[in-house]
């Protein structure tokens, strides 16, 4: 599995891109910064997009991606989400007000729409491209899920934005082949109250979450650090001993 970080920042400033990750060139996880990073040719290779939740920092590039690829897409790109995500994208995003409805528009140059919205079941595996994907709800300000992304040999667990949560860890404990966990830290420890109110994690909070997995050897890939606090957060994360932590950077390419 090739895992490329297009963007892993919890805020947008020059040099820090919003959440978007590319697996094996064709499966996108979230669409915060996709079109700011990928060439048109690379954008054309995307076949499936998994959306964790409807916050703009995770979906905004769906707009520019659809616009860029209109007239260049032989088959629609599947945009996968749980019920609330699919309904939300339809009603609040591709509603011909905020943005044209690229799930419907077609013409002679683009026979089928560029995007196709696809509902993912909860806690049941679904075939997405070459992978099996299982959603489990996490604890965020809006309906949000973690994805277990499995090929024949390995499972990548993408948790994304969340506050303290339980269910995803009990499902994860049942999977022996987890190769990495992608999970957020947004705020420094001194802003624990802000983190709690906005359903995000601090370094201390992250340690409590990964303790629930109970498998210290699994690499924990930290994402969504707010660009206001990188030094503070990195310093606290470095003090956490006994974990296999890596703070992701835009442009990182990992292989599992």
161 scored as a contact of Zn ion (CB under 5 A):
yes
Tokens (6 digits) for 212: 């629930």
Contact 85, 30 (CB under 8 A): no
CA dihedral in degrees (159, 13, 193, 246; nearest 10)? 40
Nearest to 63 by CA among 44, 35, 28: 35
184 closest CA partner among 1, 83, 53, 86: 53
Classify 75 as helix, strand or coil: coil
- In the complex, least distance from residue 137 CB atom to Zn ion, rounded to whole angstroms: 14
Among 30, 57, 150, 232, the residue binding Zn ion under the rule CB under 5 A is: 57
30 is a contact residue toward Zn ion (CB under 5 A)? no
Radius of gyration of the chain (CA): 18
Q: 160 or 203: whose CB is closer to Zn ion?
A: 160
DSSP 89: I
Size of the site for Zn ion (CB under 5 A): 3
d(CA 219, CA 147): 16
Of 48 and 161, nearer to Zn ion (C-beta) is 161
Q: Which of 4, 55, 158, 226 binds Zn ion (CB under 5 A)?
A: 55
Pick the piece of the chain touching Zn ion (CB under 5 A) from 47-55, 71-79, 103-111, 231-239: 47-55
Measured from the CB atom, the residue of 57 and 150 that comes closer to Zn ion is: 57
Work out how close the CB of 188 gets to Zn ion at its nearest, in angstroms, rounded to a whole number. Answer: 17
Smallest gap, in angstroms, from Cβ of residue 195 to Zn ion?
A: 12
Stretch that binds Zn ion, among 64-72, 91-99, 155-163, 214-222 (CB under 5 A): 155-163
Binding site for Zn ion (CB under 5 A): 55, 57, 161
């Amino acid at each position: 599995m090739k895992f490329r970080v297009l963007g892993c920042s919890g805020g947008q400033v020059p040099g820090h891109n919003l959440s978007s990750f590319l697996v094996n060139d064709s499966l996108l996880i979230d669409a915060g910064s996709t079109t700011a990073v990928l060439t048109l040719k690379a954008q054309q290779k995307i076949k499936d997009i998994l959306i964790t939740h409807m916050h703009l920092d995770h979906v905004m590039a769906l707009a520019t991606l659809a616009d860029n690829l209109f007239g260049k897409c032989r088959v629609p790109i599947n945009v996968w989400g749980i019920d609330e995500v699919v309904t939300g994208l339809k009603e609040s995003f591709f509603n011909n007000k905020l943005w044209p409805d690229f799930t419907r528009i077609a013409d002679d140059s683009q026979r089928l729409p560029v995007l196709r919205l696809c509902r993912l079941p909860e806690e049941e595996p679904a075939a997405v491209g070459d992978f099996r994907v299982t959603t489990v709800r996490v604890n965020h300000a809006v309906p949000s899920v973690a994805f277990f992304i499995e090929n024949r040999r390995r499972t990548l667990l993408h948790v994304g934005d969340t506050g303290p949560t339980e269910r995803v860890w009990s499902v994860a404990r049942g999977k022996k082949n987890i190769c990495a966990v992608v999970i957020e830290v947004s705020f420094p420890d001194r802003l624990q109250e802000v983190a709690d109110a906005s359903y995000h994690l601090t370094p201390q909070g992250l340690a409590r979450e990964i303790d629930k997995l109970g498998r210290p050897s699994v690499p924990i890939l930290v994402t969504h650090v707010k660009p206001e606090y990188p030094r503070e957060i990195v310093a606290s994360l470095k003090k956490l001993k006994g974990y296999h932590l890596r703070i992701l950077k835009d442009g990182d390419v990992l292989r599992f």
